[in-house]
Amino acid sequence: MAAGEPLIRFTGVKKTFGTKVVYSDLNLDIHRGETITILGASGSGKSVMLKMLIGLFEADAGAIMFDGADVTKMEERELYDVRRRIAYLFQGAALFDSLTVGENVAYGLREQNWNTMSDEEIQRRVAQSLQSVGLPGIEEMRPSDLSGGMKKRVGLARTLALQPEVILYDEPTTGLDPINTARINHLINGIKRALGLTSVVVTHDMGTAFAVSDRLAMLGKGRVLMEGAPERFKQTSNPYVRDFIDGKAPEVEDVDVLLSTS
């Protein structure tokens, strides 16, 4: 990759589901090693963007580049390679109730590396991953024995076990109390510092957005309405963005009217 070239780039991306237009012109660059948070109202396409990046949804038009290759033109085998490098942390942690914590954390390793890692290597990686999220020695516990915050951290451990280059966090703090929210925020920041990963965070939680982000992007009307550093968002006079940050219902429904002020 050339110096300065984005690791991930969405260019002119369009996506519809039936008559619902999710994206009419999505353009966004994501740089290696940064943490960017994607904001937007429910239905604005935040999770759709993540799923298009790893090929779970197909874009109708435009290009989605990852490390210089266009995801929209890839065959399933090529997408498999992308998914080895980009890990998706699902909103509800998506743990298997029938498996122990250790088996859950090892699941991706066994699926992706079944012919390259020994059981001993997998067990060691599982232990290291649980240690990294502050949950050492709980391999034999069941998901039903865990609190909501612990489930999120086990989900994060399973993600880290894959040693990805990029982590996609889909609502990582939803449903958590303030203490566990702060713990997850601390982990996101610590993982970035320790491993230098690129992180894409989808959240409605402005506290999390401001705590973990190098940059934020606000979605609406099928595109990026505003992007920039947290300070730009904190100081914005754009009524739509301001109302979202402050948790107020906008008085004007047509966002286009508001775009001239930022």
Residue 230 lies in a domain: yes
Separation CA 208–CA 205 (nearest Å): 5
If you average pLDDT over residues 52-58, what whole number do you get? 94
- Domain of residue 78: give its range: 8-258
For residue 19, give the CATH number of its domain: 3.40.50.300
- What is the percent of the chain with per-residue pLDDT over 90, rounded to a whole number? 65
For 253, residues 6+ apart whose C-beta sits below 8 A from its C-beta are none
If you average pLDDT over residues 49-55, what whole number do you get? 94
Residue 3 lies in a domain: no
One-letter amino acid for residue 1 of the chain:
M
Side-chain half-sphere CA neighbours of 3 within 13 A: 0
Rounded to whole angstroms, what are the CA distances from 262 to 39, 228, 234, 247, 257?
16, 11, 11, 18, 12
Residue 249 lies in a domain: yes
Supply the pLDDT for residue 146.
Answer: 92
Residue 37 lies in a domain: yes
Structure tokens at 16: 């519809």
Structure confidence at residue 113 as a pLDDT band (50, 70, 90): low
CB distance 164 to 197 below 8 Å: yes
CB distance 144 to 64 below 8 Å: no
pTM of the model: 0.86
From 58-62, 66-70, 256-260, the region with the lowest mean pLDDT: 256-260
Supply the pLDDT for residue 89.
Answer: 87
The pairing of beta strand 198-202 with beta strand 215-220: unpaired
Structure confidence at residue 34 as a pLDDT band (50, 70, 90): very high
Residue 131 lies in a domain: yes
Residue 187 lies in a domain: yes
CB distance 5 to 162 below 8 Å: no
Average pLDDT value over all residues in the chain: 89
Separation CA 55–CA 58 (nearest Å): 6
Tens digits of residue pLDDT in 81-90: 898 899 988 7
Residue 2 lies in a domain: no
Tens digits of residue pLDDT in 138-193: 999 999 999 988 998 999 999 999 999 999 999 998 888 999 899 999 999 999 99
Separation CA 237–CA 243 (nearest Å): 10
More reliable by pLDDT, 261 or 178: 178
Domains in the chain: how many in total? 1
Supply the pLDDT for residue 149.
Answer: 87
Residue 100 lies in a domain: yes
